Amino acid sequence: MEISIIINGEPLFKKRRYRNREELRTLDRIAGKILNNNKAKTFFVFMIACSLFVFTPHEIAYGGTFDPTKIDEAGRTFLTIIQKVGYWVCIIMATKEILSELMHGTLKNVGQVIMKYSVAFGTLFALPWIFDLIIDIFS
């Protein structure tokens, strides 16, 4: 299998001639291990995709002009999803811990559990607000 990345009709990486067969065998062995391991393959595909974003002009990646407001929109959407998932995770985990405390017959740690998950959930909203406040202060 050969994988090549072509940008504007030019290969991103030039082919290299290997004079040392041992070096070529070592590279084939490494590539085989990567291709046979799903986690490694997923990681390397992700890293290649990220490096293409970094190493290519953004105008090409976005098909025209670079619009930074799109990054803010995507970030806000992603943050909203994380906040909604965090809401339910905090409720479920807090309920589980409270029920665990009740099963053990102790009530003294219930307040700590409620505070722990309240602070964790509050951080999901407070941190973006603090960052926006810093931007407003220094701009």
Closest CA to 119 of 86, 92, 76, 71: 86
Residue pair 108/66 in contact by the 8 Å Cβ criterion: no
pLDDT at 99 over 80: yes
Unique residue bearing structure tokens 């090549």: 4
pLDDT for residue 19: 62
pLDDT at 28 over 60: yes
Residue pair 48/56 in contact by the 8 Å Cβ criterion: no
For residue 117, count CB atoms less than 10 angstroms from its CB and return exposed for 0-12, middle for 13-18, buried for 19 or more. Answer: buried
Per-domain boundaries in the chain: 6-62, 68-138
pLDDT tens across 58-98, in order? 544 455 566 778 788 888 888 999 999 999 999 999 999 99
pLDDT tens across 107-127, in order? 888 999 999 999 999 999 999
Assign residue 57 a region: left if phi > 0, alpha if psi is -120 to 50, beta otherwise?
beta
Cα gap 62→56, rounded to integer Å = 10
pLDDT for residue 89: 93
Q: How large is the average pLDDT for residues 26-42?
A: 80
CA dihedral (52, 57, 60, 65) in degrees, to 10, reads: 140
Question: pTM score, two decimals?
Answer: 0.50
Residue pair 125/79 in contact by the 8 Å Cβ criterion: no
